A and B are shown apart, each in its own frame.
Chain A
Amino acid sequence: MNESLLNMKGITKRFPGILALDSVDFDVPKGEIRAIVGKNGAGKSTLIKILTGIYTPDSGSVEIEGKHFSHITPDVMYSEGIQAIYQENDLVSYFTVGESIMLNNESRGTVRAFIDRRDMNEKAHQLLLGKIGIDIDPRKLIRDLSVSEKQLVQIAKALVREPKIMIFDEPTAPLSAKEIDKLFEIIRGLRSHGITIIYISHRFEEIFEIADSITIMRDGKKIVDLNLKETNEDEIISHMTGGNMQVASRSEGEKRRVSDEITLEVENLESERVNKISFSLYKGEVLGLFGAEGAGQVELVRAFYGLLPKRGKIKLNGKETHIRKPTDAIRKGIGYVPRDRKEESLVRTFTLAENVTLSHLNAFSPGGFVNKKSELEMADQMIKDLAISTRSAKTVVSFLSGGNQQKVAIARWLAFPLKILILDYPTMGVDVQAKLEIYRLLKKISSEGTSIIIITPEYEEIKMLCDRVMILKDGQHRATLDVKDIDEDILLKHAIGSSGSVVS
């Protein structure tokens, strides 16, 4: 039994209104590959951020090889050898491989002031060949490398500092199957060199293939550590969900309101991260869109709405249509509420009224000049209908709370007949009261004939709001299920487990 390399005890972290981590104990023995899983909001990314010094815990301590720290700082990361490999590029695009790997560790020539590039390239090459097992010409430029090669350079860069702990955060997302095999070979090699590895991923097949053990988190708590040889997917999923809480679905007790009329048919939509997805949407239906992060849900709706280039067929009410940019979609009665309301859907410096009319200014400006009176009237109406708490329609939206901001973002689309409303996780960061009001609003809209597509990672929301849920995994359409037939385990099994197959 290996002694612990990393021992985090009693880690607690609070954010305004949320207890992100509740006295979490996390310890990993030396030379083990430990996976961490948890559904959205479980706290795993917060834990990692504490481990990499981005956040400071409110209480608890960290021990590395017996050495005690109250929290991690960049200096600690450096001295104790904690290295993280992220998806974002930590490389300079016009540097060579050698320069990237040896940055801040440059070899000096005979004149101590000058660097010896040849020696640096040698060392870099040796590192890549010896410890990673890959042969890349150290003189190649970073921007000429493939995504997989860039990742390997990042790993080599981390290895220069002789880390004790390496953290991999969703490393396989952009890789091909062969590249994944190669990466796993390398990770096993790192383990054999005594490096402890923390592996974050939502792909169960990979977790079972590469990791030795798994830590499962839920609602800010560490639930259990399991040895992967002694468990299976279903057990892990049931720990992640906490075993089937009874959440009443909306459809129970309500007569089926969804008509049989098909509002939207999408065939073989292809775009960034979207692999030939097809689906249909009924009039007045609320369709949930669920998947792990990066599964393609966001790209799917954005491509559909005209914000991303795409290929594929779209049929509205049976007629084929082309949506090349957002104006086309808006004109056809499609609205889109992006996830990041501060940056992407609201103009922070505009007032409530100005934001509400932004997408349909033409209707409020006969003759070119904005009719501020009718604008305010509409805004006041929205404030009433959506129960937005604000002193007036002239308040600048940056002063509203998250929930009210979200209501404004939705209000923009409600002034005019809407065929389809698309929302990307509208309740993120919204207080409970506003959440319920938004649900009530969405149910009302759908009962009036508007179809809704809502991306959400929350099982409770899907149960409460949706008639059907479409599950995506790695850019593919895995299943579309009636919400009354599912429970959380089934949902997760399709989204991150290995069950199901592609729906064409």
Chain B
Amino acid sequence: MENALRITKFKSYITLGIFSSVIIYLIIVSPGFLRFDNLMNVIVSATFVAIPAMGLGTIMLSGSFDLSFVGIIGVVSVTSIRMVHAEIPIPVVLITALAIALGFELANAFLIIKLKIHPWLTTISTMLAALGLEKAISKAYFLTTSHSFFQTIRFESFLGVPLPVWILGLSFLLMYLLVHKTAFGMHLYAVGGNEVAARKAGLKVERLRFSSFAAMGVCIWIVSLVYLSQLSGYTPEAAYTNLNEVILSVFFGMSISRKNVITIPGAVVGALFVALLANGLALSGVSSYWIKLIEGCLVIVVVITNAMGSGEIVQLEK
């Protein structure tokens, strides 16, 4: 056990070290990696992963889990597109989208917190239902839009930086302040770390856990809009293909944190790292399937190293 603890102390340095060396390697090996517009591309593609990762991280640090967000993103996207096609004004679309996202997540929360059903089992079936639902609404077709709202987000920049990057930045700011700078965030960490102690300290555990799911709902809402913009419409199961990366980002963030906890900056850095890695590998000519394979292996590696630092979520209670 002593050895494991010693490794833990250096774990964040090791991970950062690997991270940096990989990036340096990619910089050397692929020309054009460091070009501004390439980097902006990377950040934009990281947005799809980073925003749900922040939401997932919030749920996980308060002691729960949620797989279903990939399906909910789909449902929100397809419903919004249908409404846009039906010429419903954008503000209404946006509000409905938020309502749907929150509705699904609070339903998850009810099942998990009130009925005490296992979070993994619940959200796996909610995910399946949502994925089916999204395709049912879209009949599994792509649905495009050239509505100015989405086109603006896709193509416009502010101060030379693409709008999606601004969206990421603002979302990050919001989540960071919420989770790391407010008492609410600290209470979430308390609930996730030692629920009994949190209760004894007088914290309202159920309410806090519900709120973490609501936060995820907001993240789902924001990222759905980004998906709609960047893809100029709805693509079936678009978010599902990124499930892997989102989970990896959250755990990656945990392994670079000094305290070995899930953090918002960690999740975003994780998403950036994954995006950089994928981009760099692609530029070097690696096929996208091998990239996915590497990401899959990374999840296991990261999870095992986190387990050595006794990450409670990760381990089996034995």
Q: List the interface of chain A (C-beta within 8 A of B).
A: 74, 78, 89-95, 99, 103-104, 106, 108, 113-115, 141
* Total B residues in contact with A, Cβ cutoff 8 Å: 20
Q: Identify which of A92, A104, A108 contacts B193 (C-beta below 8 A).
A: A92
Is B91 engaged at the interface, CB distance under 8 Å to the other chain?
no
Q: List the interface of chain B (C-beta within 8 A of A).
A: 177, 181-183, 186-187, 189-190, 193-194, 196-198, 200-203, 259-261
Q: Identify which of A90, A108, A114, A141 contacts B196 (C-beta below 8 A).
A: A90
Verify B260–A94 contact, CB threshold 8 A: yes
**Chain B minimum-CB-distance residue to A88:** B196
Verify A94–B196 contact, CB threshold 8 A: no
Verify B197–A91 contact, CB threshold 8 A: yes
Most chain B CB inside 10 Å of its own CB: which residue of A74, A106, A114, A141: A114
Give, as a whole number of angstroms, the nearest-CB distance from B202 to chain A: 5
Give, as a whole number of angstroms, the nearest-CB distance from B179 to chain A: 12
**Chain A minimum-CB-distance residue to B61:** A94
Give, as a whole number of angstroms, the nearest-CB distance from B189 to chain A: 7
Q: Identify which of B182, B197, B259 contacts A141 (C-beta below 8 A).
A: B259
Give, as a whole number of angstroms, the nearest-CB distance from A121 to chain B: 13
Chain A residues with CB under 8 A of B177:
114
Chain B residues with CB under 8 A of A99:
186
Chain B residues with CB under 8 A of A104:
183, 187, 201-203
**Contacts known (A92-B189, A94-B189); A115 close to B183, Cβ less than 8 A:** yes
Chain A residues with CB under 8 A of B189:
92, 94-95
Verify B182–A94 contact, CB threshold 8 A: no
Verify B190–A103 contact, CB threshold 8 A: yes
List, sorted by A's number, 19 A–B pairs whose CB atoms are closer than 8 Å: A78-B202, A90-B200, A92-B190, A92-B193, A92-B194, A92-B197, A93-B193, A94-B261, A103-B186, A103-B190, A103-B198, A104-B201, A104-B202, A106-B186, A114-B182, A115-B181, A115-B182, A115-B186, A141-B259
Chain A residues with CB under 8 A of B183:
104, 106, 108, 115
- Bound Cα distance A108, B177 (Å): 14
- Bound Cα distance A103, B194 (Å): 12
Q: Identify which of B182, B194, B196 contacts A93 (C-beta below 8 A).
A: B194
Verify B194–A89 contact, CB threshold 8 A: yes
- Bound Cα distance A309, B181 (Å): 44
Chain A residues with CB under 8 A of B200:
90
- Bound Cα distance A141, B9 (Å): 12
Verify B193–A95 contact, CB threshold 8 A: yes
- Bound Cα distance A209, B41 (Å): 71
- Bound Cα distance A95, B189 (Å): 8
**Chain A minimum-CB-distance residue to B177:** A114
**Contacts known (A91-B194, A114-B177); A103 close to B260, Cβ less than 8 A:** no
Chain B residues with CB under 8 A of A115:
181-183, 186
Verify A90–B203 contact, CB threshold 8 A: no
Give, as a whole number of angstroms, the nearest-CB distance from B306 to chain A: 13
**Chain B minimum-CB-distance residue to A107:** B183
**Contacts known (A78-B202, A113-B182, A114-B182); A94 close to B197, Cβ less than 8 A:** no
Chain A residues with CB under 8 A of B261:
94
- Bound Cα distance A103, B182 (Å): 12
Verify B182–A90 contact, CB threshold 8 A: no
Give, as a whole number of angstroms, the nearest-CB distance from B318 to chain A: 14
- Bound Cα distance A253, B177 (Å): 79
- Bound Cα distance A113, B177 (Å): 10
Verify B201–A103 contact, CB threshold 8 A: yes
- Bound Cα distance A93, B195 (Å): 12
**Chain A minimum-CB-distance residue to B202:** A104
**Chain B minimum-CB-distance residue to A115:** B183
Known pairs A90-B197, A93-B194, A106-B183 / 7 extra A-B pairs, C-beta < 8 Å:
A74-B202, A78-B202, A89-B194, A92-B190, A93-B193, A94-B193, A106-B186
Give, as a whole number of angstroms, the nearest-CB distance from B32 to chain A: 41
- Bound Cα distance A89, B182 (Å): 25
Chain A residues with CB under 8 A of B187:
103-104
Q: Identify which of A74, A90, A113, A141 contacts B194 (C-beta below 8 A).
A: A90
- Bound Cα distance A90, B203 (Å): 13
Chain B residues with CB under 8 A of A93:
193-194
- Bound Cα distance A89, B259 (Å): 18
Give, as a whole number of angstroms, the nearest-CB distance from A162 to chain B: 15
- Bound Cα distance A184, B109 (Å): 47
Give, as a whole number of angstroms, the nearest-CB distance from A469 to chain B: 36
- Bound Cα distance A114, B179 (Å): 10
Q: Top 7 nearest A-B pairs by Cβ distance?
A: A92-B193, A90-B197, A114-B181, A92-B194, A106-B183, A94-B259, A104-B201
- Bound Cα distance A92, B203 (Å): 13
Give, as a whole number of angstroms, the nearest-CB distance from B270 to chain A: 18
Chain A residues with CB under 8 A of B203:
103-104
